[in-house]
Structure 1
Amino acid sequence: MYFVDLNSDLGEGAAFDSQIIPLITSANIACGFHAGDSNIMNTTVALCKENSVAFGAHLGYLDKENFGRTNMTLSPEEVYNITLCQLGSLSAFAKAQGVKMQHVKPHGAMYNMAAKDMEMSLAIANAIKDFDSSLILLALSGSKMIEAAKQVGIKYASEVFADRAYEADGSLRKRTLEGSMITDENEAISRVIRMIKEGKVTAYTGEEVPIEAHSVCVHGDGEKALDFVHALNKAFAENDIKTVPLSEVIE
């Protein structure tokens, strides 16, 4: 039996959140910077509580116009501060509803930049440690964020993507490049099963890349997101893979 967390980026204003949440084990809730607002945060936390689904803060750059996908040049202090700000925002709604955050996951450009930037990753990891050292940093497998979590001494989990192409160095292929998205559902599912069972993924350029799969991400803003979550859960059941919350996978 294999164990994996199934997560989705939610609270971003997409139409399927209430239907996706019962089908996943961890939700990443936007904290108002790249998407979402106070009303959506409160509603999404309530949905997670109602369905006994773990959730965490989905941190982004203050860039709603571009959905947090524009690279920004911030100092480590500024990265630390925006991390704390967003953790505090979501935590307030969690506290009011009597529940607790499980993890923290950067979004978009912030995620991809931190994956290769140790100073930025350390700023994020230190902010998490200073805010609540029990939180798990959910980050790209093999990235600088994983290294930073180990260095700072916080929990971490390695994330893989069902619908994204990988480069030979283990980074995600930029969305602006050809072939960055895996659009064939069967191909995406077979890649995920292999990542979980064999710890490998084939890069866009053909190389075999070692990968650690604690959690699989499904983007909640995709028009076929709900269908894809159903298909993944069916494939997991057929391949002796059980979905459990992130905190149980890394125990």
Structure 2
Amino acid sequence: MQTRTQIDLNADLGEGCGQDEAILAYVSSASIACGGHAGDAQSMHLAVRLALKHGVSIGAHPSFPDREHFGRHKMRLEDHQLFDTLVAQITALQRVCRAEGAPMFHVKPHGALYNQAAQNTHLARLIVAAILAVDPGLAVMGLAGTELPRMAAAAGLRAINEAFVDRAYLPDGTLVPRAMPGALITEESKALHQALRLVKQGKVTCLDGREIRLHADSLCVHGDNPRALALVRALVLLLADQGIAIGPMPKSGVKHPG
């Protein structure tokens, strides 16, 4: 395996968790909540300004329209309803980025929508269609090796394969559902070990002890994790010690707001 010297580190922000600016000092990409599960015009403007201040790549973080459950419950919507809300959410952040003079690079679905799109080809295609309707220059971030990045690539969009530092995996490469014991990796040393193996070996040990291969373009730490700040600090130091820098994905071919 080719030695890596850089990896994108992203966090999901703008969700009202109170540590965004501190986290932005360490990550290279941020997916910003845009009204579905969290966020409003004020929080989007603030998050975009902070991302610009720290030189962090910006993406939209749309979800099912479900603020009550933070977008983490499955919802059944008609295709046109889901398409319309995704377009509205992505466009909302796009408008904020244009107002702030910031480029928007990617779209990453949130929560239940993200997890369902990893396995549901029809849903993945619908998400890709919504992104295409807003801006075909946007990249698509999804769970590594699953349907969303595959459908994005098939549609000619740039696909970013994402892996998680603070979540456990099943042998099929999907995330352990949050309701199951062990779904969240709360011990910092275990999260750091998982991140290092992902970057250096392209492997992860699943909850049942099996090992799978997983290529990651970007690593994620959840911004709503109470230990997120300490974890990103420790991860940046650990990777630097291994000669691996934190840096955003290259922006070639991606449109900027005009």
Q: Which shows bigger deviation, 70-79 or 104-113?
A: 70-79
Count of equivalent residues: 251
Secondary structure in 2 matching 1:154: coil
* Unpaired segments ≥5 residues, structure 1: none
* Unpaired segments ≥5 residues, structure 2: none
Match of 2:143 among 133, 140, 144: 140
TM-score under structure 2 length normalisation = 0.94
Return the alpha-carbon distance in structure 2 between the equivalents of residues 247 and 62 of structure 1. 31
Secondary structure in 2 matching 1:74: coil
8 A Cα contact 1:166 1:204, kept in partner: yes
8 A Cα contact 1:33 1:60, kept in partner: yes
Larger % of helix: which?
1
Secondary structure in 2 matching 1:228: helix
8 A Cα contact 1:2 1:197, kept in partner: no
Return the alpha-carbon distance in structure 2 between the equivalents of residues 127 and 235 of structure 1. 38
Could you report, residue by residue, the CA deviation over 1:103-134 in whole angstroms, capped at 9, with x for unpaired residues?
10000001001111001100111221221111
Return the alpha-carbon distance in structure 2 between the equivalents of residues 3 and 219 of structure 1. 20
8 A Cα contact 2:14 2:32, kept in partner: yes
Q: Output the amino acid matched with 1:178.
A: P
- Which runs of structure 2 are paired with 1:1-251 in the superposition (5 Å)? 1-247=4-250
Return the alpha-carbon distance in structure 2 between the equivalents of residues 103 and 54 of structure 1. 9
Identity of aligned residues (%): 39
8 A Cα contact 1:141 1:158, kept in partner: yes
Q: Measured at CA, do residues 15 and 249 of structure 1 come closer, stay the same or move farther in structure 2, by a change above 3 Å?
A: farther
Return the alpha-carbon distance in structure 2 between the equivalents of residues 67 and 123 of structure 1. 21
**CA positional deviation for 1:78:** 2.6
Return the alpha-carbon distance in structure 1 between the equivalents of residues 40 and 83 of structure 2. 21
Return the alpha-carbon distance in structure 2 between the equivalents of residues 126 and 239 of structure 1. 39
Q: Output the amino acid matched with 1:207.
A: R
Return the alpha-carbon distance in structure 1 between the equivalents of residues 51 and 19 of structure 2. 13
Secondary structure in 1 matching 2:141: strand
Q: Which shows bigger deviation, 121-130 or 161-170?
A: 121-130
**CA positional deviation for 1:75:** 3.0
Could you report, residue by residue, the CA deviation over 1:136-162 in whole angstroms, capped at 9, with x for unpaired residues?
101000111011112211001100101
